[in-house]
Each structure stands twice: as C-alpha cells, then as structure tokens.
C-alpha cells in the first residue's frame, strides 16, 4: 500500500488539529431512518387496502338465513334470499322423490343422488341456490304456477336449461346442478342456511 511522506495512506483523512471528526456512520443512520420511514409509509398504504377486502357489515349480517319451513306444503316451493342471492326451498312429494331416485346417476352430466343433495332423514327438503349454473339467471319453478320444465324441477328461460326434482341439470347448456349451500335443521321446522 502506498503512503505519503507523512506516513498517511491515501484513503485516510487527515484532520487538522482543533477540528472535530464528522461521524463516519452518519450515512448508515440516514439509510436506516429512510428505510424505516418507507416501511411505515408502505404499511400505512397497504393496511387500508387489505382491510377493504374484508366483508362489509351488511354482508356479515346476511351470512346466515333462518327459515321456518312449517308452512311449505309437499310439492310446494318458496323463494327466499341468502347472501343477496335467490334461495329455493322445496318440500318434495313422495312421487318427486321417486322420480329423482329412478334416474340412473351415470346418465347425469353432474352425477349426484338426491340423498347427496339433501340431509339424512330430511330427503323431502331440497334447498338450492336459485341461480342457473350457465350464466347466472334465476330459473322458474319455485313460484306458484311457474314453468317447471320437462323434468318437473326448475326451468331457466334464458337459454333453456332444465333441472329435475332434485335440482340436477338434465337438459340445456348449464354445466352443473343447482348449488346446494351449507345448511342445518335446528328443529323439525326451522332451517339455518349458511
């Protein structure tokens, strides 16, 4: 390493007597402070963004729907609302149950038995979302006098999808059966969906 005549290397700084040496780590402190401010600023920006993805209070209030099904006669269906979507609740007759059970599951586009779509011991209660699985239209068949289609279940007039008494797709462009949401009977006449 080369040195000057006075014995000081070229990379060392010579401070005249009486002058203070500036803190050599000052740049490090400034770097740490800048990174800390940037991290806090990033957190302030990201936290509200992430928090905005949480469900709102009105959605949380509608996360479950409780229905009294005691007034629904066999063969009758009602329309309700679950998370701002239509909900179909149908009390199947023994003939509708027999018609659903008579269909070979292997012949279905989305193979499911009626027992898989209902609760054990409550196979007469079919609860599905009232949204066609093709493009999201609301099928007919839950209201009094509405067209139930060729299979006696639901019929979507938008593009002709037809569902049977178990809410299974039988004809038309819909790829899947009507969705069965999570639900539980809290008594013989009260069901909680969600």
Q: Rounded to 5 degrees, what are φ and ψ at 107?
A: -85, -5
Q: How does strand 152-155 pair with strand 162-164? A: antiparallel
Question: How many distinct helices (H) and strands (E) make up the chain?
Answer: 4, 9
DSSP state for residue 142 in the 8-state scheme: S
Q: Is 159 annotated in the active site?
A: yes
Give the 3-state secondary structure of residue 106: helix
Out of 15, 28, 30, 159, pick the active-site residue: 159
Alpha helices in the chain (DSSP H): 26-51, 57-61, 94-101, 114-117
CA–CA separation, 66 vs 190, rounded Å? 7
**Do 91 and 82 contact (CB within 8 A), yes or no?**
no
Which residues are known to be catalytic? 159
């Amino acid at each position: 390493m080369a040195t000057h005549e006075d014995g000081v290397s070229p990379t060392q700084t010579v401070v005249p007597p009486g002058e203070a040496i500036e803190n050599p780590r000052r740049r490090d402190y400034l770097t740490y402070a800048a990174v800390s401010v940037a991290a806090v600023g990033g957190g302030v920006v990201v936290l509200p963004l992430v928090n905005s993805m949480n469900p709102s209070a009105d959605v949380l209030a509608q996360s479950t729907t409780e229905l009294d099904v005691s007034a629904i006669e066999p063969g009758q269906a009602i329309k309700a609302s679950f998370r701002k979507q239509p909900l179909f609740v149908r009390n199947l007759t023994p003939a509708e149950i027999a018609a659903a059970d008579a269909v070979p599951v292997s012949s279905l586009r989305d193979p499911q038995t009626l027992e898989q779509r209902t609760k054990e011991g409550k196979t007469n209660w079919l609860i599905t979302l009232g949204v066609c699985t093709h493009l999201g239209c609301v099928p007919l068949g839950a209201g009094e006098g509405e067209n139930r289609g060729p299979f006696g279940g639901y019929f979507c007039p938008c593009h002709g999808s037809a569902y049977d008494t178990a809410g299974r797709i039988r004809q038309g462009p819909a790829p899947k059966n009507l969705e069965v949401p999570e639900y539980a009977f809290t008594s013989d006449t009260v069901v909680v969906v969600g």
